[in-house]
Structure 1
């Protein structure tokens, strides 16, 4: 006969073991602070991982539970892996080397700066991520203002059209009336009037012959005005302040440089070390957008919704041949033909690094002195305007020769620089003797307006 009491005891023991294992399993779930872990995850992990899909590394949602269930791996192993995965692999750990091989031998970054508590917080976040807050109504800055401005502009345009059409109709009516009056006058003229009309000037040539000197003076004035008009028109060839062409991929500098505080030189790296700032390649964009496949920001430009921004990311993926599902390049690329906005003539030499590095503080100080109510913090803004507020980049200044010379005449050389103090000491002393002790060294004093500096 079966002794149910013995089996009952065994069952209770088995249940106890399961409960204790489950308790340990749950205890690991609740270690750490998920809220703090969320911040640490965003700072340290989002370049290679997301919670719910494969990126450069595997998805991390529930990774603690998954590894414990499938590989019998505990948090101690995860602590070692995050801090120094290279050392863990070197120790011969089988699973560490298996993961390394599975992900194409791409070495994970080491995080010796993270404490055990930090790692516990990150793991707690992957096990129990805080609920996402309800999507707030997207901020559409100046939406009402922009709509009012657009409506006012449309009303103004409509009013202008009505006025122009009315004036054209009135002018046409007056011409018709004059024509009819002329016909009536001809019919009513007597023979005496006809004889009198023969003695009157009947054409412009007769009028010119009679008043030849006045006519020649008038023509001379017209010639001078015409020459001035042509000269003035030619002087503004290539000056396109306010020019903002439509680009093949919509890129908002306000979102990238303004809201997300991306440094100008992260993308335009040539500005600091070279003559040109260069248009960044799409690979620079993909450094971030491999992990950013959709726009989740709060800011929406009036007239654009999230789908619009997401579509632009898809165009970026198609242009670079990136497959977001496989997280790999297909090799099928489509070159993007950007429309250049800032373009110096070939006969003008301009070196970005000279202004961005050597003249950085001097230019910022000079600009802020001349524009006390419109201060700048980055040297780029002195010429290109406040790019971080522009959704569509436009030319903010004229970029004429006179504009550059005026800047060189008013920008003081940074004499707080020890190198400049030593290099320009004799020049500074000479200028003080010539113009007084209050004189300052401006760029023109060190050759900034010599022809050969910009034209070669």
Structure 2
């Protein structure tokens, strides 16, 4: 009796080939090359015997309010000044420019008139060595912009000889397609060979009753299925309705990119410097662009260290230019043109109209930090809604937060009575009436 021929188990070999190709392509990729930093560390100092590092500290603390190194601001750009002026003249001008102008020095008078007769601050406390350090810093060559790795083509990100991920995946897909075709052809050929030699191929099992027919004939299974279906619909509908109006994680794109990471994080600007009305008003308020210009009259570009892989230095500089266009600030004349454009900011945190929330009550009276509701804003590149801002979330906060009674005569007066009533040392906002409906809905 002839034995029936089983279909060959080719999947085992197919899996081994796939594993080999995956391992080869993974470990065969070139390692990412580090960016070249150039030979900036070997450049000569423009002023002999000076320390540019100390000069940078002095420049940032004394000069940066009116001067930039490579661009005109309130005063002229300082890069190349040692070539335009004599060092002895620079010492006199920096220490007391008005005295030099009154002496009738032609260069001093010409410079004073050229820059709209804006008086330069006197710095008699600076020594000649201090001035040398500052000038050594201002004379450093302008750094070349870093290549934006994120914007570079995929093939270039791995270096000149690397293979991009797209090419590897494409080749792997082609190989898998070819192997599938080969598997089909081999299987078909073996079946024909078996039939030609009279070897029966394993027959398929006889078809039974369709599963849906068997299910429909079983009334118990139908009843159980209907009950589970109704429960699933009810649970899903409840979950969907409970998420209506909950925008946790909402992260809209603003017309001007504002990085809280840079302002509140790296520069440690206090939240209430921009959102000043949060101290005294129900609303935190949208900062006026004039608040931005308090700093950005001078800060026209960011430092290269501020850039990230996703956001380059050029990107941040372009966003500052959008601010200038909106306020009508002319960097060449350091004045306003009067031609302004509205900035349509996108609101992120928005409570329902029937819910009352007062920022000043929480910020000034309760002393709650902004991060408690808004999350770690100092780490956010793009601002998003950190908390759900639901009723349950607010109630839990009132139940867990102790109020501050010190320095508040009203709270001090009733603290003793309420402490005895609840048998506690500290009173929460809930025990002070923070769960009453009328506190937030009226």
Counterpart in 1 of 2:61? 43
Matches within 5 A, 1:319-398: 319-360=326-367, 363=368, 379-398=369-388
Matches within 5 A, 1:182-221: none
Deviation string 1:232-291 (CA, Å, 9 cap, x unpaired) is: 433321111111122222222212222222222222222223222222233333333333
2:113 is aligned with 1:123: no
2:421 is aligned with 1:443: no
Counterpart in 1 of 2:263? 256
Counterpart in 2 of 1:58? 76
2:279 is aligned with 1:272: yes
Task: Tell me how far apart the structure 2 counterparts of residues 351 and 45 of structure 1 sit (CA, whole Å).
Answer: 42
| Larger Rg belongs to | 1
Counterpart in 1 of 2:322? 315
2:240 is aligned with 1:233: yes
Task: Tell me how far apart the structure 1 counterparts of residues 48 and 249 of structure 2 sit (CA, whole Å).
Answer: 57
Change (3 A) 1:433 1:328: closer
Q: In 2, are the aligned partners of 1:295 and 1:309 still within 8 Å (CA)?
A: yes
Task: Tell me how far apart the structure 1 counterparts of residues 302 and 352 of structure 2 sit (CA, whole Å).
Answer: 38
1:425 to 412, 415, 431: 412
Change (3 A) 1:101 1:343: farther
Q: In 1, are the aligned partners of 2:55 and 2:136 still within 8 Å (CA)?
A: no
SS in structure 2 of the partner of residue 424 of structure 1: helix
Q: In 2, are the aligned partners of 1:275 and 1:353 still within 8 Å (CA)?
A: yes
Task: Tell me how far apart the structure 2 counterparts of residues 397 and 74 of structure 1 sit (CA, whole Å).
Answer: 56
Q: In 1, are the aligned partners of 2:375 and 2:386 still within 8 Å (CA)?
A: yes
Q: In 2, are the aligned partners of 1:52 and 1:59 still within 8 Å (CA)?
A: yes
The number of equivalent residue pairs is: 339
Q: In 2, are the aligned partners of 1:318 and 1:333 still within 8 Å (CA)?
A: yes
Any gaps of 5 or more consecutive residues in structure 1? 1-28, 141-146, 156-180, 186-200, 364-378
Q: In 1, are the aligned partners of 2:251 and 2:348 still within 8 Å (CA)?
A: yes
Deviation string 1:306-360 (CA, Å, 9 cap, x unpaired) is: 3333332333333333333343444443322222111122222222222222222
Q: In 2, are the aligned partners of 1:37 and 1:118 still within 8 Å (CA)?
A: no
Larger mean CA deviation between 43-52 and 237-246 belongs to 43-52
Q: TM-score scaled by structure 2?
A: 0.61
Q: In 2, are the aligned partners of 1:31 and 1:120 still within 8 Å (CA)?
A: no
Q: In 1, are the aligned partners of 2:79 and 2:139 still within 8 Å (CA)?
A: no
- The structure richer in helix per residue is 1
Q: TM-score scaled by structure 1?
A: 0.59
Change (3 A) 1:355 1:107: farther
